[in-house]
Amino acid sequence: MKKIFIYPTLFLLVFSVNAQDDLLAELNEETGNQDQYELPAFKAMQIGNLQSTKIGDKGDLYLNVAHRFGSLKDGIDNFFGLDEANTKIQLTYSFFDGVQFGLSRDSFEKTYSLTSKVRIKRQSSKFPVNIVAYGAIDINTILKSANFADFKFGDRFSYVAQALVSRRIDKNLSLEIAPTYVRQNLQDISVTGGRTHNQFIMGLGGRVKVSKRMSINLDYALNLSRATGAKTFDPITLGVDIETGGHVFQLLFTNARGSNDSGYLSRTTGDFFAGDISFGFNVVRVF
C-alpha cells in the first residue's frame, strides 16, 4: 500500500519540477526577445544650446528659463556682461508619447518660436542609438519694414530642421551628432558676407557625468555654408548640469547671445577663442 502511494507522489513531484523548468525557460525566452530600453542620454532638453534627444513623458509640462548675459570682455564697466541679458521663456508639453511641442519668446531679436520634437527610435538592447526629429519656426519681430525695400511679413521667418542622434555610451558618457538645416528668409549681408539663406550645419555634443547629480556638457555647431568674409562664428557652449529633484540648472559659458535655434546657430557674432564669451544659464522645471 505504501509503494502504491509513493510512486504516484514521486511522479507528480518530477512532473511539477519539469513544468516549473519549462515555465522559467519560456519566461526567460520572452524576456530575451523584449527590448530593454536605456536611460535617457541627456537629462535636459538641451545639452547647452544644442537640442538633445530628451523628450518629456506624455502629460509633462516643462518650463525653461534661459539667460545669456553680455560678453565677459566688456570688463567691470559692464560688470563683465551682467548688465546686459537676453532672456528666453519657453513652455513645452508632450501630448503623446514621444511627441513634444514648444512655444517660446526670446528677447534676442524679440523672437517668437514654435518647436516640435518627435522620437523616431529609442536606444535599446536591440538598437544602438536614439533618433529624434526636431523642427523650429522662429519669427523675428525686431525687424522694421521701413529699413528694407519690398519687406514682407514672411521675411521675419527662419526655419530649423535637425536629425538628433545620440548614444548613451555608458552610465557616465553620452554623445550626440545633429545634422542641421537652417533657412533664413532675410539676411543682413554686411554680417553674413553673402546670400547664404540656406545653411547646412553639423552639431556635436556630449555629456560626462562627474557625480550622481552633476555633469559637464559641451556642444559645438560647425557651419558648412558660411560665406567668406562673414562676421559670424561657430557657436561653442561649455556648461555644467546640476540636478535638484524636479529642476535642472545648467550653468553655461558660450559665445552665442541668442537662445532661439536659428539665432544661435547662424547669427553668433562672438569669437569664442578671442575671449568673446558670455555667461548664461538655463533653469528647467517639470510639472
DSSP string for residues in the chain: -HHHHHHHHHHHHHHHHHHHHHHHHHHHHHHHHS--BPPPS-SSSBSSSSB-S--PPTT-EEEEEEEEEEEGGGGGGGGGGTT-EEEEEEEEEEEETTEEEEEEEETGGGEEEEEEEEEEE--BTTB--EEEEEEEEEEE----GGGSTT--GGGGEEEEEEEEEEEE-SSSEEEEEEEEEEEESS--HHHHSS---EEEEEEEEEEEEEETTEEEEEEEEEESSPPTT-S----EEEEEEEEETTEEEEEEEES----SHHHHHH-----GGGT--EEEEEEEEE-
Give residue-wise pLDDT tens across range 7-45: 444 444 444 444 455 555 554 554 455 678 888 899 999
Half-sphere exposure of 56 (CA within 13 A, CB side): 23
Mean pLDDT confidence for 197-224: 96
C-alpha closest to that of 54 among 124, 128, 132, 137: 132
Q: Which three cell numbers stand for residue 277?
A: 564669451
Contacts of 123 (CB under 8 A, 6+ apart): 37, 38, 41, 129, 130, 166, 167, 168
Alpha-carbon gap, residue 36 to 207, rounded angstroms: 22
Query: In the 3-class helix/strand/coil scheme, how is 80-115 assigned residue by residue?
Result: HHCCCEEEEEEEEEEEECCEEEEEEEECHHHEEEEE
Indicate the pLDDT class of residue 199, thresholds 50, 70 and 90.
very high
Mean pLDDT in residue range 209-235: 94
The CATH code that applies to domain 53-286 is 2.40.160.40
Q: CA nearest 69: which of 77, 78, 61, 60?
A: 78
pLDDT-derived band of residue 245, with 50, 70 and 90 as boundaries? confident
pLDDT at residue 11 in the model = 42
- 272, exposed or middle or buried, with CB in 10 Å at 0-12, 13-18, 19+? buried
Average pLDDT over residues 216-227: 96
Average pLDDT, integer, range 138-153: 84
pLDDT at 22: 55
Q: What is the pLDDT of residue 16?
A: 46
Contact 254, 211 (CB under 8 A): no
Ranges of each domain in the chain = 1-31, 53-286
> Using 50, 70 and 90 to split pLDDT, how confident is the model at 145?
confident
For residue 150, pLDDT beyond 90: no
Asked if residue 232 lies in contact with residue 192, where contact means CB atoms within 8 angstroms, the answer is yes
What's at 235, amino acid-wise?
P
Q: What is the pLDDT of residue 15?
A: 42
Q: Give the per-residue pLDDT at 228.
A: 87
